[in-house]
Amino acid sequence: MMHIDFDGVHRLAAVASLVEPLRCAFASQAASPKRAHYDLDTAGKPRTLLLMPAWQPGGGIGVKIVTVFPDNADRALPSVNAAYVLLSGKTGQPRAWIDGRALTQIRTAAVSALAADLLAPAAPDILLMVGTGALSRYFIEGHLAVRKYRSVLIWGRDPSKSAAVAQDFSTRGWPVSAASDLQAAARSADVISCATLAEQPLIQGRWLKSACHVDLVGSFKPTMREADDECMRGAFIAVDTLAALEESGDLIEPLARGIIAKQDVSLLGALIASKPATPRPHKTVFKSVGVALADLAVAEYLFEHNGPRAA
């Protein structure tokens, strides 16, 4: 069985290289059942176990096992850890074990990049990245892969972390700078990407430009929110999976208050199938919670690009 570790995932794929494989995956007939979600609350500490299977009819099979332990940050450990097992669609035998944390990081950013390619303004000026965790670098790379920006801002609760991420990109020649004022940064942005574990909204709808695209990644529980109701009001909203309507506080609460309606929320796969000619000229929101068909697509890409292998 092939083993692709954390460094191997990054050697074999970049966020930009996965946008088109994911476009094909979301337009395919892949089966992606609702993920199993278990809360492992221990001594008042929120901890989560996720099981995410997917398969292509007559093709590959895969399952990702994920743990989310927010308190790991206090131990200088990743909050999200995962392992991915890719199986043969012919025999059911294991084909590859893949570092699931790396796969999740690169897949999540590539899905948001794909959504931005469909929904973001055609000629944006400023990108704002909210959050300075491990995902922030991937999301900046993904958004830069599908749009050109004059500048990129990054904001985090800890200014030193924002400065560190900005410095990392600046040394590579990319126009990234730290923002100290979230409201001012959001008012200037054409695209806002949020990857945080916030439980209270960080982005206020009254700050947004009329044609702003908002990419929401962090909220995967009903108690978590990155954007307020006004961000959703009147927006064109798309999701990676309809499970987001039941899992994310960013959608659950506006739905409960009648700010948005289920029938007005579009699936990313449906957008790809409809092939919109141009980005929409008004406020758009993409909310992702993670979908297993995307993991499978990335796992198969990594497997196919890892050189000679057994039949």
Contacts of 43 (CB under 8 A, 6+ apart): none
**Residue 104 φ/ψ, nearest 5 degrees:** -65, -45
**Residue 220 φ/ψ, nearest 5 degrees:** -120, 10
Name the residue type at position 161. K
Q: Which residue carries 């001012």 as its tokens?
A: 184
Q: How far apart are CA 226 and CA 201, in angstroms?
A: 4
Question: What's the whole-number average pLDDT of the chain?
Answer: 91
Structure tokens that stand for 183 in this block: 């409201």
Lowest mean pLDDT among 18-22, 155-159, 211-215, 305-309: 305-309
**Other residues' Cβ atoms within 10 Å of the Cβ of residue 174:** 15
Residue 116 has pLDDT above 90, yes or no: yes
Q: How far apart are CA 89 and CA 103, in angstroms?
A: 20
Q: How far apart are CA 205 and CA 199, in angstroms?
A: 17
Over residues 256-278, the pLDDT tens digits come to 999 999 998 999 999 998 876 55
What's residue 19's pLDDT? 96
Superfamily of domain 109-291: NAD(P)-binding Rossmann-like Domain (3.40.50.720)
Q: What's the CATH number for 2-104+293-304?
A: 3.30.1780.10
Instruction: Give this prediction's pTM.
Output: 0.89
- Rounded to 10 deg, the angle between the 134-146 and 100-119 helix axes is 40
Structure tokens that stand for 164 in this block: 């560190």
Residue ranges per structural domain of the chain? 2-104+293-304, 109-291
Instruction: Specify the DSSP element, H or E, that contains 193.
Output: strand 191-194
Lowest mean pLDDT among 39-48, 88-97, 198-207: 39-48
The conformational region for residue 87 under phi > 0 = left, psi -120 to 50 = alpha, else beta, is beta
Over residues 59-79, the pLDDT tens digits come to 899 999 989 888 888 888 888
Q: How far apart are CA 247 and CA 252, in angstroms?
A: 7
For the segment 24-50, the average pLDDT, to the nearest whole number, is 87
Q: Are 293 and 299 in contact (CB under 8 A)?
A: no
Q: How far apart are CA 166 and CA 160, in angstroms?
A: 10
Q: Are 196 and 202 in contact (CB under 8 A)?
A: yes
What's residue 307's pLDDT? 65
For the chain, the distance separating the N- and C-terminal CA atoms, rounded to the nearest angstrom, is 11
**Other residues' Cβ atoms within 10 Å of the Cβ of residue 303:** 18
